[in-house]
Amino acid sequence: MPSVIYRAVLAVLFLLCSACARFENPLVAEEGPQFDEGLTGHWYAENADGRFEMLIERNGDEGRVLATEIETGKEPSTDELRLITARIGQQTFASVSGVDGDSNWVLFRFELATPDRLILYQDEDRVWSDAMRDKLIPGSDQTDKIRNSTVPASSQELRAFVLGYGSVIFKDPPAAEFTRLRDD
Domain assignment present for 145: no
Domain assignment present for 140: no
Region 27-38: what's the mean pLDDT? 94
Domain assignment present for 139: no
Domain assignment present for 44: yes
What pTM did the predictor assign?
0.85
Which CATH number does the domain housing residue 55 bear? 2.40.128
| Domains identified in the chain, total number | 1
CA 92 to chain centre: 11
Assign 12 a pLDDT band (cuts: 50, 70, 90).
Answer: low
Domain assignment present for 47: yes
For residue 94, what are the domain limits? Answer: 4-121+172-180
> Does the pLDDT of residue 2 top 90, yes or no?
no
> Does the pLDDT of residue 157 top 80, yes or no?
yes
Domain assignment present for 151: no
CB neighbour class for 58 (10 Å; exposed up to 12, middle 13-18, buried from 19): middle
Domain assignment present for 40: yes
Which tens digit of pLDDT belongs to each residue from 49-63?
A: 888 999 999 999 999
Assign 9 a pLDDT band (cuts: 50, 70, 90).
Answer: very low
Cβ atoms 123, 104 nearer than 8 A: no
Assign 150 a pLDDT band (cuts: 50, 70, 90).
Answer: confident
| pLDDT, averaged across the chain | 84
What is the per-residue DSSP string for 54-97? Answer: EEEEEETTEEEEEEEEEETTS--EEEEEEEEEEEETTEEEEEEE
Domain assignment present for 92: yes
